[in-house]
Amino acid sequence: MDAQELADSLPDGVVVADADQRVVLVSAPAGRMLGVAPDDAVGRPLAEVLALRDQDGRAWAACTTPYAGIATRSAVPEQSWLLPDGTEVLVAARLHRDVRSGPVRRVAVTLRSGRGRARLDRERSDLVATVAHELRSPLTGVKGFVQALLNRWDKLTDEQKKLMLTTVSADSDRLTRLIAELLDVARIDTGRLQLYPRPSDAAVLVTRIVESVRAGTARTIELDLGADGGAALPPVLVDPDKFTQVVTNLVENGVRHGDGTVRVLLEAVPEGHETDPPGVRITVEDEGTGIPEEMRRRVFTKFWKGGARGGSGLGLYLVHGLVRAHGGTVTIGDAPGGGACLVTTWPGEG
């Protein structure tokens, strides 16, 4: 494989120039980015081929002066530049010298698409906006009620004080949960999520979750553990805290974004099942409009929000990440009543 074939096989664009500032190699990806034919670019001045500008219209070669400057310089750090069509690319260069402090004999420039960084920047901006929005509401409530208690303590009845403190406690719980979600998102993204699985009774955990959600909503939530009340369900090997987080998200999602009755069904998954591991399957259904099939691939991405009823957009992303971390599965379908149907499976103790 010669130098041209090797450069063409790289994911980033490569441009190499000699001591006379003339181009000796342009890889195919670089040619596509710069809008030049690699063969035609050979022999032309580097500054002419590398037609990159900054936001102020200044040329890359004029700003970086790769053949001049400090004699010990060996590289040009990666920076954002604009192609002739306005597309952002990330450009870095290596300066090769025969001897230290000698003249530059060769300049190798790499060009990498800026889309990845732009997407990352958008995600970070979305995260900041989401955090700011989600924190503002409970913090406003906490501050308002605490200020009222401080200013009017002697004038408030015990019942009014209790109501205000109860609201402050609920808003504090909401803040704590949001912070926990954000930390889990970061751990999933970086592969640092830690689980502490142990044999657990899914029926007991889900019953507690449903009772907790019922206490905070007027919507009907039905729980079906089977004819035996869940006695025949096998133990699941899960981190109880993460399991509770997932199922709570699913049930609250049905309450927040669905309509009618929310149904939660637990059933055993037998060993040897074609698609799911042996263990327990949990199905959460509602009677709303459901999730269109063409949108289901986006549901488990960060900041996806279905409907206009708020939320951080992180719930189902966490559901997907936490279930998969346990070795389970999560799927979306249509409920018999036309609403959304989310099914998770959890591995058994064996």
Going residue by residue through the chain (350 aa), what tens digit of pLDDT does each one get? 688 889 888 889 999 999 999 999 999 999 999 999 999 999 999 999 998 988 888 899 999 999 987 888 888 888 888 888 888 888 999 999 988 888 999 999 999 887 766 666 666 666 676 677 667 778 888 888 899 899 989 888 989 989 889 888 888 887 887 888 888 888 887 778 888 999 999 999 999 999 988 988 888 999 998 877 777 888 999 999 999 999 998 998 888 877 888 999 999 887 665 556 678 999 999 887 777 777 777 777 776 666 555 556 677 888 899 999 999 999 988 877 778 899 999 998 76
Q: Tell me: do 94 and 78 sit in the same domain.
A: yes
CATH (domain of 79): 3.30.450.20
Alpha-carbon Rg for the chain, nearest whole angstrom, is 29
What total number of domains does the chain contain?
A: 3
Angle (nearest 5°) at CA 116 between 110 and 118: 110
What is the extent of the structural domain holding 209? Answer: 198-347
Entry pTM: 0.60
Q: Tell me: do 227 and 313 sit in the same domain.
A: yes
Q: Tell me: do 205 and 313 sit in the same domain.
A: yes
CATH (domain of 309): 3.30.565.10
- Looking at the DSSP bridge assignments, the partners of residue 109 are 15, 93
Q: Tell me: do 182 and 222 sit in the same domain.
A: no
